Amino acid sequence: MAAKKKTKKGRAYISASFNNTLVTITDTEGNTLTWGSAGAGGFKGTRKSTPYAATSAVDKVIRRAKDEHGVEEVEIYIKGPGPGRDAALRAIKGSGVKISMIADVTPIPFNGPRQKKKRRV
């Protein structure tokens, strides 16, 4: 097994959907260091979509990134409308990791779905 990669800076990608909250910590090149989710943290069903589940998932992932990889500073990229997005941000802020940037990368459709056909009389 290869040695664990040590890096001071990283990126935290948070995807907060209505059903789950996914967290991935990468290095600055985008190689995954550690990841987790509310479902992987032991929550099932509707409890996966709660802010508490998101907080618990982020705590586990950040702790692992700090201990195993030495991450001290993160850029946060947050995506999605779910209830876990604010809770995830608060959990990262409270974990002692320095936040250098927060970006909302939620995809927004600029053209929307195809319109109905024109009515012919």
CA distances from 5 to 1, 10, 68, 71 (A): 12, 12, 8, 10
Tell me, yes or no, whether 52 lies in a domain: yes
8 A C-beta contact, residue 55 and residue 91: yes
Q: What is the pTM of this model?
A: 0.86
Quote the pLDDT of residue 7. 87
Quote the pLDDT of residue 113. 87
Q: Domain range spanning residue 72?
A: 9-104
Identify residue 6 by its one-letter amino acid code.
K
Tell me, yes or no, whether 121 lies in a domain: no
Walk along the chain (121 residues) in steps of 10 and give the mean pLDDT of each run.
75 95 93 93 92 94 92 95 92 93 91 89 85
Cα gap 32→41, rounded to integer Å: 18
Quote the pLDDT of residue 117. 92
Cα gap 97→21, rounded to integer Å: 20
Tell me, yes or no, whether 3 lies in a domain: no
* CB-based contacts of 72, cutoff 8 Å, min separation 6: 8, 9, 66, 97, 98
Tell me, yes or no, whether 118 lies in a domain: no
* CB-based contacts of 100, cutoff 8 Å, min separation 6: 9, 73, 74, 75
Tell me, yes or no, whether 4 lies in a domain: no
CATH of the domain at 69: 3.30.420.80
Tell me, yes or no, whether 74 lies in a domain: yes
Quote the pLDDT of residue 76. 96
Tell me, yes or no, whether 109 lies in a domain: no
Tell me, yes or no, whether 73 lies in a domain: yes
Domain count of the fold of the chain: 1
Which three-class secondary structure string do you get for 81-108? Answer: CCCHHHHHHHHHHHCCCEEEEEEECCCC
